[in-house]
Amino acid sequence: MREIGHYIGGKHVAGTSGRFSDIYNPATGEVQAKVALASNEELRAAVENAKAAQAGWAATNPQRRARVFMKFVDLLNQNMDELAVLLSSEHGKTVEDAKGDIIRGLEVCEFVIGIPHLQKGEFTEGAGPSIDMYSMRQPVGIGAGITPFNFPGMIPMWMFAPAIACGNAFILKPSERDPSVPMRLAELMIEAGLPAGVLNVVNGDKGAVDAILTDPDIAAISFVGSTPIARYVYGTAAMNNKRAQCFGGAKNHMIIMPDADLDQAVNALMGAGYGSAGERCMAISVAVPVGEETANRLVEKLIPKVEALRIGPYTDEKADLGPVVTKEAKARIEGLIGSGVEQGASLLVDGRNFSLQGYENGFFVGGTLFDNVTPDMDIYKTEIFGPVLTVVRAKNYEDAIALPMKHEYGNGVAIFTRDGDAARDFTARINIGMVGVNVPIPVPLAYHSFGGWKASSFGDLNQHGTDSIKFWTRTKTVTARWPSGIKDGAEFSIPTMK
Ligand code: NAD
């Protein structure tokens, strides 16, 4: 059985804790590898390597740091097919979708090639008599990233690309479900010219996360995963005097106004609701048609499309979606579907008991569609993270906007309409971080910032964009005076510009 260890100091090292976690092929249900779960000592070894490498890397001029990312982007493109298949084999998503996962990370690497410009400070000449004042953006030192299973290419790159471009060393703790792509990314960074020790991958579970949270040499932590763990990581990091940005779960609504192009809205709902088996933090899981007529027409168009979804293993090039990640995830999703039926929602398409010939042990869930869902039901309150779309009917626009406004989560939201006034009012009032107007999955591009509001995010700076440069650097402000001929006496009151 293939054993995955850690990547420390530019080398693969075997795990020594004696603890392992199984890695499945979700399409067949078979265990295909084992990943080591790090001990405190193994995390410490990675931190020591990072410490040894960091000062030299920070002193490397920003154009040279940028060139590593130029080469890395080339290597990602050269290795795209191999990376995508590796990703699909552990995650289960289609190969096309896996390429998208890697490309969205690659785009963040392209963004940080601008680091010489992005990391520039500010300068004020003549802030006082013979006084100049300037601010520098210096790396925080050692950063750590803790990532979820659902984007094993993109999310590690969201974190390590800006952190490393800013001159930090980095410890990545990927999801224990699909660590192979993160390990490959670390190898490719070294091949691109990154000095050994600047990027280390430590595999593990809660034990490794707790070791990161309490390590005295780690200055900043970026986390993406479920809300309970995001809350825990944020609180514990803060208690240990670390900077933290922690992104959690979601329940994204799409409002369909009576004037919307319904075919466009239905296609958007299909892709955003069922793509990647609904295992996206920006998946649409709640459709909110406004008015009975819109709702009836929408549901009528959705049913045959959901029934016709092609579900298959990643080796099926025509599949729309693959299995979910684990047996436990499948059982959880099917349990939630059952609760929807018990609590009175209308189950229009039932994806439970889905079976695929030749893949009977795979973790497949069929496309599922509910109508007449209400806000008190568990399928509305909970993030399902599966191929399940729920329809909540709203009488009018005000009732529709009130739903996402009152929901615990605030990651993404969308409105489909031809009415510019409605769209403008919606984008102004909605209390959610990422908003789409006739765009169902409004994931900002690399040069803007990604982040939700409410229980979808803890901390105050987002992923990528200029926020990421702020997160991975500390501001130092220097006030310098070069007095030629000024001989003033001691000043005992605070200097002002009066
Ligand atoms: P998860 O919270 O189970 O795991 C995330 C990370 O935390 C993993 O590295 C895992 O090893 C670690 N972890 C798990 N349990 C822990 C514990 N008790 N203590 C410390 N660390 C622990 O999440 P997941 O199932 O891998 O990913 C799916 C979740 O991630 C969904 O809720 C999804 O919405 C969310 N997500 C959010 C975003 C976003 O940007 N907001 C993006 C992608 C995924």
**Residue 449: inside a domain:** no
For the stretch 116-163, pLDDT in tens is: 999 999 999 999 988 999 999 999 999 999 999 999 999 999 999 999
Residues with a known catalytic role: 281
Does any domain span residue 483? no
Q: Quick one: angle between helices 227-239 and 206-214, nearest 10?
A: 30
The reply to whether 484 falls in a domain is no
pLDDT digits 0-9 by tens, 92-120: 999 999 999 999 999 999 999 999 999 99
CATH of the domain at 68: 3.40.605.10
Q: Are residues 219 and 268 in the same domain?
A: no
Residue 446 lies in a domain: no
Question: Is the sign of the CA dihedral 398, 403, 409, 411 positive or negative?
Answer: negative
Q: With respect to residue 410, please indicate whether it lies within any of the assigned structural domains.
A: yes
Q: Quote the mean pLDDT of the chain.
A: 97
Q: Please tell me the distance from the alpha carbon of residue 251 to that of residue 267, in angstroms, as a whole number.
A: 19
229 CA to centre of ligand 1 in angstroms: 7
Is 254 a residue whose pLDDT tops 70?
yes
Any domain includes 223: yes
**Over residues 444-453, mean pLDDT:** 98
Both 237 and 270 in one domain: the answer is no
Mean pLDDT for 15-35 is 98
User: Positive or negative CA dihedral for 484, 485, 490, 496?
Assistant: negative
Same-domain check for residues 256 and 238: no
Structural domain includes residue 179:
yes
Per-residue pLDDT, 153: 98
pLDDT of 478 above 90: yes
pLDDT at 482: 87
Give the residue numbers spanning the domain of 352.
252-437
486 band by pLDDT with thresholds 50, 70 and 90: low
Provide the domain count of the chain: 2
Q: Are residues 242 and 285 in the same domain?
A: no
For residues 372 and 469, membership in a common domain is answered with no
Share of residues in the chain with pLDDT > 70 (%): 99
Q: What is the pLDDT of residue 203?
A: 98
Specify which residues 33 forms β-bridges with: 2, 23
Half-sphere exposure of 184 (CA within 13 A, CB side): 20
Specify whether 198 is located in the same domain as 219: yes
Identify the band that residue 487 occupies on the pLDDT scale cut at 50, 70 and 90.
Answer: low
Q: Which residues, 6+ apart, have CB-to-CB distance to 224 below 8 Å?
A: 146, 147, 148, 155, 158, 230, 246, 247, 281, 463
Ligand 1 binding pocket includes 412 (Cβ within 6 Å): no
CA-to-CA separations, 231 to 37, 240, 329, 421, 459, in angstroms, rounded: 22, 14, 21, 37, 10
Which residues, including other chains, have CB under 8 Å from residue 403's CB and lie 6 or more apart?
253, 286, 288, 375, 392, 394
pLDDT score of 485 more than 70: no
pLDDT grade for 494, boundaries at 50, 70 and 90: confident
C-alpha 186 chain-centroid distance:
18
Residue 206 near ligand 1, beta carbon < 6 Å: yes
Taking the CB of residue 195, how many other CB atoms lie within 10 A of it? 18
Q: What is the pLDDT of residue 493?
A: 85
Q: How far apart are CA 152 and CA 176, in angstroms?
A: 10
Establish whether residue 150 lines the binding site of ligand 1, counting it when its CB lies within 6 angstroms of any ligand atom.
yes
Whether residue 17 is found in the same domain as residue 129 = yes
Ligand 1 midpoint to CA 247 (Å) = 9
User: Could you tell me the distance, in angstroms and rounded to a whole number, from the CA of residue 245 to the centre of ligand 1?
Assistant: 13
Give the mean pLDDT of 375-388.
98
User: Taking 90 as the threshold, does the pLDDT of residue 497 lie above it?
Assistant: no
Q: What confidence tier does 50 reach under pLDDT thresholds 50, 70, 90?
A: very high
| Domain co-membership, 304 together with 402 | yes
Segment 468-481 shows an average pLDDT of: 97
Residues 6 or more apart whose Cβ sits within 8 Å of residue 421: none
Instruction: Indicate if the pLDDT at residue 17 is higher than 70.
Output: yes
Q: Are 229 and 291 contained in the same domain?
A: no
Q: pLDDT for 268-327, tens place per residue?
A: 999 999 999 999 999 999 999 999 999 999 999 999 999 999 999 999 999 999 999 999
190 & 264 share domain: no
Are residue 234 and residue 346 in the same domain, yes or no? no
Find tokens 């900002």 and name the residue: 444
The CATH number that applies at residue 258 is 3.40.309.10
Q: Are 252 and 285 in contact (CB under 8 A)?
A: yes
* pTM to 2 decimal places: 0.97
pLDDT confidence of 189, banded at 50, 70, 90?
Answer: very high
In terms of domains, do 123 and 262 share one? no
Instruction: Give me the residues paired with residue 481 across strands.
Output: 131
Chain segment 56-85, per-residue pLDDT in tens: 999 999 999 999 999 999 999 999 999 999
Q: Which of 23, 149, 173, 381 to mutate to test the pocket of ligand 1 (most atoms within 8 A of CB)?
A: 149
Any atom of ligand 1 within 6 Å of the Cβ of 149: yes
Residue 442 lies in a domain: no
